[in-house]
Structure 1
Amino acid sequence: MQQIETLYLPDSVKSSYQNVENQPLTQLDSLSRVNILVGANNSGKSRFMCLLTETANFSIRIRDVDFINRTIENAIDKIINIYTFIGHPQISRYDTSFLTQLKSKLITKNNTNTNNNYQNIFDVFNHLSEYKSIYEQLKEIKNISKEIVEILKSTQLNLTKNIYIPTLRGLRPLNNAYNDFYKQQTLESYFKDAEHKPEVFTGLGLYTELRSYLLGDNAKRKKIKEYQEFISRSLFEGQEVTLIPSEEQKIVVVKIGNELERPIHELGDGIQSAIILTFLPFVSLENCIFFIEEPELFLHPSMQRKILEFYHSLGRHLFFMTTHSNHLLDITIDIPEISIYSFRKSITSSDDDQTPQFVVENVDNNQSSSLELLGVRNSSVLLVNATIWVEGITDRWYLREMLQMYMKTLPNPKPKLEEDIHYAFVEYGGGNITNFSFFEEQDNEKLINIKNLCAKAILVIDHDGESKKNRKQQLKDKLGTDLIILPCREIENSLPPEVIRSVVIEYETSTQKPNPEINSFAYTDYQNESLGDFIENYVIKGEKHRRGSYKADSGTITDKLGFCKRALKYINPLTDAELAKLDTEERQLRHLELFKALPESTQQIIIKIYDFIAKLNPS
């Protein structure tokens, strides 16, 4: 299914919502498969989502629509040229005049659950793709048409159903009649006057849905089997799980491994919530738009990550959700193709009885400032046994990649350590380290005491030459083995020469300079040097081709984030496809080779971090 780029909003939204230019909000741009709405309480998030939920058929613009239209135009021109070459004015009922007019039917807008705008074009090429002829030129028309048919199939979204999951949800029956009071109340409160009421799923209807699927056709029964296998892996550590609609009790009972059957509402609240959030997205045979209020309710941070990754993996659905979870928002940094929209209320005058307007802004999910929109601190660190405090996002990304690579070299590690379950990275933001107290006995109410804030912590700081010598010595005296001073100037200097060489080549390569020349160098040449300076002055042979500079005023790397994203590809270049061809021992050996390619001092840092985490998470 083609990714939607722009969602054109209904009139009900335009009257109350504005963009950052204070103009009526007519569309949502930069849409992704998963779209998160954030903002303070009473900032218009839920109202906005409800207005979307009661919209039956959205006008949309799909990504790459201009490319698709150009491809169709080129195909029409090729077919007309073939007509001309063979001296036939038409094939079947489609003549050159008809095909020329067909170009005028190309569109930039589509719809979420109908595709009438492209239907005529699809019918023409579908007909031509089935045309039979012994002539080679006419066979070429058939092949061209087949390619266009496949492209047009991808534009058929068929998002036929809106499903709303409110905060009022649960699996525990409220009375002996087993009525879905949550659904009734939601429809009455939010959609009483809606012309198109959405399907509302609160969890109380799980018995009815499950029974319907199990008594349905083979496709539906197969979906339930696959869902049981999915929750077995995701929620119950691989134990066999069976969901049973009890006809006698009118509830769902669950059988887990060798345990006795029991009502599903006797499971933990977090597991119940995860089932409510995943059941319909998984089993639905239709392509749907899901509108979910605060999916983080009752969920451990690690489960929030699993739910978000699950939604992102479902290419046939579209998701909108509101959240107040700083952890959920932080996770989006690690997952591509997620859009964040911030909401705030706007009162333009002091007049009484003024109708508030709501301002909506698309936020780049790579901007750390998006966390500030929630007005909360990252409390996820309270729920793990070990925290690794690092200076910034690139420190976190490098150390995470190297740590995961090291753990993959270990045969059957116990326990199997997972981020957000056993440990978490925390960014203290360089100079902001002075706002934190890592010393248990230090008594300064102006400082944030790390012991009170989070789990046992290990602190990673840059070497930075002789600068900040006194502060480093104080930290070393107080923290002892819980302090790691990088054995190099800063985190980028911990990279092996081959990775730095590959990143520079990538920056320098262009059509004018396809094979840039790079000088040879060793780790010790740049270990304690300003890396931006070193690249500019020693790595590049001849004239630098990259337009921007490699070095900031301080001598460090300028584009640290971009440099990091490139470097990660070379630290661990193994693809899933390559790994799938290897057995367990071969995968361990390949990861060991990559880990051993790191400088020895870098390896020691990673092993020390791993030992710290493992000690605090005994099997």
Structure 2
Amino acid sequence: MNNKLYYWPENVDNYTSDNEDNYNKILEIKRLNFFIGKNNAGKSRFLRNFFSSKTPSHRYQIKLFRQLLSVSQELQEKDEYKYLKERGSYSDFLSQLNGFQEALNYSVNSSAEQFKYCLDYLNSMGLVHKFGPNQHSINLKNEFKEQYQDSSNLSLDSEKFYIPTLRGMRPVTEIENKQPYIERAQKDYFKDIHKVNEKNIITGECLYYELKVHLLGEPEQRDLIKNYEEKLSQYFFDNEPVSLIPKHDQDVVNIKIGRDKQFPISQLGDGLQQAIILTYEAFTKKNEIYSFFIEEPELHMHAGMVRQLMNFYLNETKHYYFFTTHSNHLLDMADESDQVIIQKFVKQPKSEDPKEFEFKIYRCDRDRDLLASLGVKPSSVYLANCTIWVEGITDRLYITKYMEKFLSELKTANTELYKQYRRFMPNYHYTFVEYAGSNLVHWDFSDEFTEHLDDRGMNALLTTSSVLLIADGDIKNKSNRVGQLNQSLGDKFLLLECKETENTIHTSLVNLACHIKFSGLKEALATDENLKNILSDYLYIDGMQDSSKEGFDISRLSKNVSYFHQEHGIGQIIDNHIKVDEPQTSDDKPKRCFADKSGTIKEKLKFCRLILTLMDHVDWELTQSARELCEKIFIHISTSNDASKTS
């Protein structure tokens, strides 16, 4: 089955999307689904319809079902099919289509039979070709049954949970068994209070009683709470031991952190209370796969904690999450994980009646370069305890992946250091600043006050906290810049021994990426069908044109080649290895395949996206240079945060 997942709620009027070329009432979904847009753009209403929808999720994974809906929509909307609507068979087709959708709730055989009836009507209208050339009803019916069986194991909606913005762990009434937040959500949003109630609306009001049941229950229940407390400690409390206590004769949860005295949860910050509300149910049900629909997860939370919440969801649970959000700090997660998707909602007047409105949903992380060019990322806001200055977006993305890999290695190699480092949250304990190589000269990293007429550049320490500056090795030839930075920053200046960050990538990743770019995904992975199928959902690479490959042979790229080089970028190193002769362009300049004129890789950002995708799906190791880079970064983060505690 295709690894892409699709979904759409029932009974949603005036909403369409651009997620599929031929059908505009379907969304691609992933583990974390962010719904963004202006206020009153329709996000929350869509989210609640999603939550209350009874449409089985597996039906949208059936490709032929989606194609049938597409054909039906085309018949309904396009004027060229007007003559068909006037024929009796069209109304019969719609009747069979409704019967088919109803049958999807039951068995594969009844569904397949109804599907064939729909095909027969389309055949009578001369439209079966919409499913592909030379297709026949019997073949399509059998293909449908296979797709149905493949999709039947998927069930994202066996149980759903809704978390409204009105939530809190502190009771707002002394009336026993009264849950005002849940009752308000029911009254405002959901008509069927028997199906939408305290069992599937999460507001935090029930946490005291939930904890009481578990801690006074079976050993497995007590162990579950103990494991949950350990995860809270890891993700939100800097590894300090945490205990949640439903104290006797109280109606509010108590908490004990480290060696501090136990105190009511009301004395804990609102952001940490939110973290508990948003993670408890998801973790205690972590062995199943459910769907959580969450309004504004960032409420009362520091940006770094919101990111940590998302890491918790990805790493510690199997569920699918749907969020409405106004937080720009979450958007660049699409750069860092292929389990994240962003859908933008836009409210616009209807063309046929400007007084009426429709809601369009755009997949806005499909062109990730666009998001990157907007500069919408957490490193736009310097609120962290320390900063790591890197030359550009690709450096930040590579180093972020290196740090994740470094931590995973530490988990077995040095448990104590792993526990110390794993607590560091992006945009809270540290953040990245992208300075762009040519702009570095405009910054002064000295801690001395300078007169405004003294042209030493803007003072970096006035705009960002504790700085670690990482510079590509190619600045050695640029005047006396290295000497100035050494003088200003000392050991907080890290000059790479190679030309640029790309030189620190492991050979296996670079070679695989080059084969895919050169030959296309299908040919490059012809001997690894499983990996090809996995990557095909994330990569759309057909390979270079023959004219670009002329004079180069990708098979000459050795697995023993070293990309760590002081002077040469990886593009030049690759070209030197794969050139068959000395290919020339029409103006007698050396022809380049992977290199740009500076020797670095062509289309750096696109190449970076490819490498990051491979990192998520193939086995790889840190190079020694990358490992040393991570060590210095984590030491910087650790010392900066220790200093911030005592200052």
Q: Structure 1-normalised TM-score?
A: 0.67
Q: Which moved more, 1:556-565 or 1:179-188?
A: 556-565
Return 47-56 or 259-268, whichever deviates more.
259-268
Once residues 571 and 465 of structure 1 are traced to their aligned partners in structure 2, the CA distance between those partners, rounded to angstroms, is: 28
Are residues 1:483 and 2:522 paired? no
Indicate whether 1:428 and 2:435 are aligned. yes
> What does residue range 554-593 of structure 1 map to in structure 2 within 5 Å?
554-561=598-605, 563-564=607-608
Of the candidates 26, 35, 38, which is equivalent to residue 36 of structure 2?
38
**CA offset at residue 299 of structure 1?**
2.9
Q: How does 1:440-451 map to 2 (within 5 A)?
A: 441=449, 450-451=460-461
Residues 493-504 of structure 1 mapped to structure 2, 5 A cutoff: 493-495=503-505, 504=514
**DSSP-derived class of the 2:34 partner:** strand
CA distance in 2, matches of 1:423, 1:21: 35
Match of residue 593, structure 2, among 528, 531, 549: 549
CA contact (8 A) 1:191 1:197 kept: yes
Instruction: Label 1:119 to 1:553 Cα distance change in 2 as closer, same or farther (>3 A).
Output: farther
CA distance in 1, matches of 2:24, 2:279: 31
Q: What do residues 449-476 of structure 1 show as CA deviations (whole Å, max 9, x unaligned)?
A: 6434432112223344687547667656
**Pairwise mapping of residues 109-128 of structure 1 onto structure 2 (< 5 A)?**
115-118=105-108
Q: Deviations over 1:152-187 (max 9, x none)?
A: 585251623432211221111223225322223333
Closer, same or farther: CA 553–359 of 1 in aligned 2, 3 Å = farther
Partner of 1:346: 348
Does the CA-based 8 Å contact 2:5-2:61 persist in structure 1?
A: yes
Q: What amino acid is aligned across from residue 186 of structure 1 in structure 2?
A: A
Q: What's the counterpart of residue 89 of structure 1?
A: none
**SS of equivalent residue, structure 1 residue 516:** helix
Native 8 Å contact 1:8 1:60 kept in 2:
no
Query: Quick one: distance in 1 between partners of 2:48 and 2:526?
Result: 54
- CA shift at 1:229, angstroms? 1.5
Instruction: Give the Å deviation of 1:503.
Output: 5.4
Question: What's 2:305 paired with?
Answer: 303
SS of equivalent to 2:5: strand
Aligned match of 1:317: 319
Structure 2 partner of 1:529: 568
Q: Would you say how many aligned residue pairs link Structure 1 and Structure 2?
A: 527
Q: Is the 8 A contact 1:223 1:283 kept in 2?
A: no
Aligned to 1:74: none
Q: Structure 1 stretch 556-565 or stretch 324-333: which is displaced more?
A: 556-565
Partner SS, residue 281 of structure 1? helix
Specify the alignment match of 1:127 in structure 2.
Answer: none
Amino acid paired to 1:234:
L
**How big is the shift at 1:222?**
3.4
The alignment partner of 1:345 has SS state of: strand
3-state SS in 2 of match to 1:27 = coil
Q: Distance in 2 between matches of 1:44 and 1:239?
A: 41
Cα deviation 1:366-403 (Å, max 9, x = unaligned): 8264378897864664133x211112233124334555
| Pair 45,414 (structure 1): closer, same or farther in 2 beyond 3 Å | closer
Q: Which amino acid aligns with 1:529?
A: H
1:6 matched residue in structure 2:
6
CA distance in 1, matches of 2:440, 2:329: 21
1:616 aligns with 2:640: yes
Residue correspondence of structure 1 range 38-117 to structure 2 within 5 A: 38-58=36-56, 61-63=59-61, 115-117=105-107
Structure 2 match to 1:227: 225
Return the alpha-carbon distance in structure 1 between the equivalents of residues 633 and 315 of structure 2: 31
Q: State the distance in 2 between where 1:539 and 1:169 align.
A: 60
Q: CA deviation at 1:276?
A: 0.7
Structure with the larger strand share: 1
In structure 2, the partner of 1:333 is 335
Q: Is 1:399 aligned with 2:399?
A: yes
Separation in 1 of the partners of 2:627 and 2:211?
Answer: 51
Q: Give yes or no for the alignment of 1:186 onto 2:185.
A: yes
Q: Which amino acid letter does the alignment assign opposite residue 498 of structure 2?
A: C
Range with bigger deviation, 560-569 or 481-490: 560-569
TM-fit CA distance, 1:528: 0.9
Query: For residues 345 and 499 of structure 1, what CA distance do their matches in structure 2 show?
Result: 43
| 427-436 or 261-270, which deviates more | 427-436
Q: Deviations over 1:248-287 (max 9, x none)?
A: 4344445667776544434332332111111222334875
Distance 1:191 1:249 in 2: 31
Q: Determine the C-alpha separation between the residues in 2 that align with 1:371 and 1:572.
A: 20
| Worse-matched range after superposition: 17-26 or 286-295 | 17-26
User: 2: distance between equivalents of 1:251 and 1:306?
Assistant: 25
Kindly state the Cα deviation for residue 483 of structure 1 after the two structures are TM-superposed: 3.5
Distance of aligned partners of 1:356 and 1:174 in 2 relative to their CA distance in 1, 3 Å threshold: same
Aligned partners of 2:246 and 2:564: how far apart in 1?
66
Relative to structure 1, the CA distance from residue 326 to residue 54 in structure 2 (aligned partners, 3 Å threshold; closer, same or farther) is same
* Contact 2:165–2:295 (CA under 8 A) maintained in structure 1: yes
The answer as to whether partners of 1:227 and 1:279 remain within 8 angstroms in 2 is: no
Q: Which moved more, 1:483-492 or 1:33-42?
A: 483-492
- After superposition, the Cα gap between the structure-2 partners of 1:477 and 1:169, relative to the gap in structure 1 and judged at 3 Å, is same
RMSD: 5.3
Instruction: Please give the alpha-carbon distance, in whole angstroms, between the structure 2 residues aligned to 1:316 and 1:513.
Output: 31
Q: Distance in 1 between matches of 2:205 and 2:526?
A: 64
Contact 1:406–1:595 at 8 Å: present in 2 too? no
Structure 1 gap ranges (5+): 70-104, 123-147, 577-590
